Amino acid sequence: MDKKEFSQIRQHFGKTQKQIAQLLGISLKAVQSYEQGWRNIPASTERQLLFLLTLKSSFSKTNRPCWGMRKCPTEIKQNCPAWEFQAGYICWLINGTICQGEVQERWQTKIRICHQCKVFRSILPFLKKN
CATH of the domain at 48: 1.10.260.40
Same domain, 36 and 88: no
- Mean pLDDT split into 10-residue runs, the chain, 130 residues: 93 96 97 97 94 76 78 91 90 88 86 86 67
Residue pLDDT, tens place only, 87-98: 888 888 888 999
Same domain, 96 and 121: yes
For 2-69, the DSSP string reads -HHHHHHHHHHHT--HHHHHHHHT--HHHHHHHHHTSSPPPHHHHHHHHHHHHHHSSHHHHS--HHHH
Same domain, 19 and 64: no
Same domain, 46 and 63: no
Distance CA 20, CA 26 (A): 8
What pLDDT, on the 0 to 100 scale, is given for residue 34? Answer: 97
What pLDDT, on the 0 to 100 scale, is given for residue 65? Answer: 86
Q: What pTM value is reported for the model?
A: 0.80
Same domain, 45 and 27: yes
Residue pLDDT, tens place only, 51-71: 898 888 765 555 778 888 888
Domain count along the chain:
2
Q: Which residues of 83-104 are buried (b: 16+ CB within 10 A; e: fewer)?
A: beeebbbbbbbeeebbbeeeeb
Domain containing 81: what range? Answer: 57-130
What pLDDT, on the 0 to 100 scale, is given for residue 130? Answer: 47
Same domain, 78 and 31: no
